[in-house]
């Protein structure tokens, strides 16, 4: 059942050109923007491209995952959800379908971004095992963000409202160590930047790719992602049942 | 096949359903007739397990719609008020997806999709995304999706709203066919004509209550709506006629209540012997009369 619904969500991707464009081109544009436009002016003590690529990868993954909110709201505001719900299947399989498609889509777009980054001078020092670590971190992060998006998709009453969530997610990495080291920020912002989930996740990814110290970022990153994932998943299932059956 | 007892559903202060009892036998077409806001859609949503009633019980083929929603869902199909189709997929993909969700094998799903595309005249559009379909095509696909596997109970919420006359007749024929094949159909409609044409039983719903229940014929008998309308050439003739047969006078017309039988007509004509009659029309009661009387004149 769920596989059929994953197939459906994947089909949607190939049908909506905008979505595909946003998934592939936006990340590439952000990559090129930071490397060539801002990169020259930011001093991180290392080659900026090496510093910034992990952040870009996660920014794009987070933004990509946030698109799930739009897909979910799209279903909820249309009659199709009643058809799914009147079938003898778990209604939430529709949500799982969207999340699985989101993971697949983001893995493809990330591969493209990393490929281009390697082409323009990104030089990671990761071993095969570390690459797997990066993949694991990425999948965990995308799962957490996708389920969180599902929650927003279920709360939003309009597709436009659901789209607003992506903007929030798009800006989250800016107040983190993604693009500039946090010690360059004003004190209050430093506190926010260091204690938001994006920073440990980015530090972990960067450490795995480039060998920079990870410290306790690894555990923090996993804890944040698992926490967000569990809470969002439970909330999504609850909201889905409530929203359509009262 | 469908049995409900005292179904109540409130939204805030509005009582959408106020103690609805329905009993529908297998293979019958049952129409819920009522004006907008009468509670028709709410009733369908409760019966198709999409909405929990606040009070009362409902069973479909013996399954309680609340406690055994999964079992209920395995015997029903729902075609809601708005086309429940996936706009980004093609018509064929929609059908194959639904067939797979109904647990048909991949090969069987493909085959069933082709059969339905044929039956619902969507073969040419099979490969086009549904968002490019016309309203009528979406409606047809919507119904086809409900028939991927033959349900025991089919719910149709205002199935012909927005359809052109020919498509409406097609749909009526399909519904009759399904009922002949043993499918129990519960449909909602604002069209009296539709209920009259299609339904074995009609329940008139008004403000969440069943205000009348019966076959279309029985309902028509509820209102003494039959009348003989007589038109006269002059005021004099009219007055003379009104003196002999009591009725409602309006301009040069006299409207006499009757049961519409030939005997009644003859009796009236005998009584009017010698008065010149310009025109005579016998009007049988229609479901419209029933409807207007029962719902206090608020039109559908």
Question: Which pLDDT band holds residue B260 (cuts at 50, 70, 90)?
Answer: low
Is the separation of the CB atoms in B178 and B171 below 8 Å? no
Point out which residues pair with B294 in neighbouring strands.
none
Supply the pLDDT for residue B299: 45
Question: Beta strand B209-214 with B153-157: parallel, antiparallel or unpaired?
Answer: unpaired
Q: How far is CA B299 from CA B44, B136, B289, in A?
A: 21, 26, 11
- Whether B78 shows a pLDDT value over 80: the answer reads yes
Select, from the ranges A131-145, B47-61, B127-141, B199-213, the one with the highest average predicted confidence (pLDDT). A131-145
Q: What crossing angle do the helices spanning A93-119 and A217-245 adopt, rounded to 10°?
A: 140
Question: Which pLDDT band holds residue A246 (cuts at 50, 70, 90)?
Answer: very low
* Burial class (CB within 10 angstroms; exposed 0-12, middle 13-18, buried 19+) of A24: middle
> What percent of chain B is predicted at pLDDT more than 90?
16
Is the separation of the CB atoms in B219 and B204 below 8 Å? yes
Select, from the ranges A14-18, B129-133, B231-235, the one with the highest average predicted confidence (pLDDT). B129-133
Question: Which pLDDT band holds residue B95 (cuts at 50, 70, 90)?
Answer: very high
- Whether A132 shows a pLDDT value over 90: the answer reads yes
Cβ neighbours for B229, distance < 8 A, ≥ 6 positions apart: B253, B254, B255, B256, B279, B280, B281, B282, B283
- Distance between CA atoms of residues A142 and A138, nearest Å: 6
Question: Which pLDDT band holds residue B223 (cuts at 50, 70, 90)?
Answer: low
Question: Does ipTM exceed 0.90?
Answer: no
Option in B71, B83, B101 nearest A87 (CB): B101
pLDDT tens readout for residues B189-212: 888 778 888 899 999 888 888 888
Cβ neighbours for B234, distance < 8 A, ≥ 6 positions apart: B252
- The larger pLDDT score, comparing residue A149 to residue A182, is at A149
Assess B129–A contact: CB distance below 8 Å, yes or no: yes
- Distance from the Cα of B146 to chain A's closest Cα (Å) equals 9
- Whether A142 shows a pLDDT value over 90: the answer reads yes
A contacts of B74 (beta carbons < 8 Å): 88
Whether residue B48 and residue A86 make contact (CB cut-off 8 A), yes or no, is: yes
Is the separation of the CB atoms in A120 and A35 below 8 Å? yes
Nearest to A196 by CA among A172, A219, A179, A226: A172
- Distance from the Cα of A81 to chain B's closest Cα (Å) equals 7
> What percent of chain B is predicted at pLDDT more than 70?
93
Q: Is this prediction's pTM over 0.95?
A: no
Is the separation of the CB atoms in A16 and A38 below 8 Å? no
Is the separation of the CB atoms in A135 and A17 below 8 Å? no
Biggest CA-to-CA distance, chain A: 59
Mutate to test the interface with A, among B49, B61, B88 (most CBs of A within 10 A): B88
Assess B195–A contact: CB distance below 8 Å, yes or no: no
Point out which residues pair with B33 in neighbouring strands.
B189, B204
pLDDT tens readout for residues A185-237: 888 888 888 788 888 898 898 888 888 888 888 888 899 999 999 999 999 99
Supply the pLDDT for residue A80: 84
Is the separation of the CB atoms in B162 and B134 below 8 Å? no
B contacts of A244 (beta carbons < 8 Å): 50
Supply the pLDDT for residue B296: 63
How much is the average pLDDT of B216-233?
76
Supply the pLDDT for residue B186: 94
Q: If you average pLDDT over every residue of chain A, what do you get?
A: 85
Whether residue A83 and residue B76 make contact (CB cut-off 8 A), yes or no, is: no
The SS3 call for residue B8 is strand
Supply the pLDDT for residue B300: 41
How much is the average pLDDT of B110-136?
89
- Whether B276 shows a pLDDT value over 90: the answer reads no
Supply the pLDDT for residue B275: 81
How much is the average pLDDT of B2-10?
87
Supply the pLDDT for residue B97: 93
Supply the pLDDT for residue B138: 87
Write the Ramachandran bin of B39: left for phi over 0, alpha for psi from -120 to 50, otherwise beta: left
Assess B81–A contact: CB distance below 8 Å, yes or no: yes
pLDDT tens readout for residues B12-28: 888 888 888 889 888 89
- Distance between CA atoms of residues B278 and A64, nearest Å: 79
How much is the average pLDDT of A1-13?
86
DSSP of A41-103: G---SS-HHHHHHHHHHHHHHHHHHHHHHHHHHHHHTSTHHHHHHTSSS-TTHHHHHHHHHHH
Whether residue A7 and residue B97 make contact (CB cut-off 8 A), yes or no, is: yes
Q: If you average pLDDT over every residue of chain B, what do you get?
A: 84
Question: Beta strand B201-206 with B209-214: parallel, antiparallel or unpaired?
Answer: antiparallel
The SS3 call for residue B21 is strand
Whether residue A86 and residue B83 make contact (CB cut-off 8 A), yes or no, is: no
Cβ neighbours for B87, distance < 8 A, ≥ 6 positions apart: A78, B129, B130, B131
């Amino acid at each position: 059942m769920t596989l059929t619904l994953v197939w459906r969500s994947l089909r949607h991707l190939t049908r909506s050109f905008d979505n595909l464009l946003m998934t592939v081109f936006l990340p590439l544009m952000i990559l090129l923007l930071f490397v060539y436009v801002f990169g020259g002016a930011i001093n991180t003590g290392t080659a900026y491209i090496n510093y910034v690529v992990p952040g870009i990868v996660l920014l794009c993954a987070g933004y990509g995952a946030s698109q799930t909110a739009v897909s979910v709201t799209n279903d909820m505001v249309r009659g199709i959800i009643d058809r799914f719900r009147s079938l003898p299947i778990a209604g939430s399989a529709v949500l799982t379908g969207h999340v699985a498609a989101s993971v697949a889509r983001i893995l493809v777009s990330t591969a493209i971004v990393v490929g281009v980054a390697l082409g323009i001078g990104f030089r990671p020092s990761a071993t095969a095992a570390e690459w797997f670590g990066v993949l694991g971190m990425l999948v965990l992060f995308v799962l957490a963000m996708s389920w969180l998006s599902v929650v927003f998709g279920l709360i939003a009453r309009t597709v436009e409202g659901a789209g607003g969530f992506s903007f929030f997610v798009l800006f989250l990495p800016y107040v983190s160590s993604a693009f500039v080291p946090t010690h360059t920020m004003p004190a209050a912002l430093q506190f926010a930047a260091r204690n938001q989930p994006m920073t440990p996740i980015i530090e972990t990814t960067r450490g795995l790719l480039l060998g920079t110290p990870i410290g306790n970022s690894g555990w923090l990153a996993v804890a944040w992602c698992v926490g967000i994932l569990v809470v969002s998943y439970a909330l999504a299932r609850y909201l889905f049942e409530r929203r359509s059956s009262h | 096949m469908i049995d409900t007892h005292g179904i109540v559903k409130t939204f805030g202060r509005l009582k959408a359903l106020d103690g609805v009892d329905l009993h529908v036998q297998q293979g019958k077409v049952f129409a819920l007739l009522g004006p907008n806001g009468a509670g028709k859609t709410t009733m369908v949503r409760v019966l198709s397990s999409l909405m929990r009633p606040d009070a009362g019980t409902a069973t479909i083929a013996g399954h309680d719609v609340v406690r055994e929603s999964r079992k209920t869902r395995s015997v029903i199909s729902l075609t809601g008020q708005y086309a429940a189709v996936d706009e980004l997929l093609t018509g064929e993909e929609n059908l194959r997806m639904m067939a797979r969700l109904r647990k048909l094998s991949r090969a069987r799903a493909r085959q069933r999709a082709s059969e339905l595309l044929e039956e619902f005249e969507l073969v040419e559009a099979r490969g086009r995304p549904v968002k490019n379909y016309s309203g009528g095509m979406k409606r047809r696909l919507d119904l086809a999706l409900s028939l991927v596997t033959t349900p025991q109970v089919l719910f149709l919420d205002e199935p012909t709203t927005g359809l052109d006359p020919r498509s409406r007749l097609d749909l009526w024929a399909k519904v009759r066919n399904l009922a002949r094949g043993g499918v129990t159909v519960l449909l909602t409609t604002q069209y009296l004509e539709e209920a009259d044409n299609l339904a074995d039983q009609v329940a008139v719903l008004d403000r969440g209550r069943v205000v009348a229940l019966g076959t279309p014929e029985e309902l028509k008998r509820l209102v003494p709506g039959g009348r003989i309308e007589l038109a006269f050439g002059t005021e004099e003739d009219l007055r003379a006629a009104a003196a002999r047969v009591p009725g409602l006078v309006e301009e040069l017309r006299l409207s006499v209540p009757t049961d519409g039988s030939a005997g009644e007509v003859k009796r009236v004509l005998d009584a009017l012997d010698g008065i010149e009659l310009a025109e005579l029309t016998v009007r049988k009661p229609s479901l419209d009369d029933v409807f207007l009387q029962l719902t206090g004149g608020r039109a559908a």
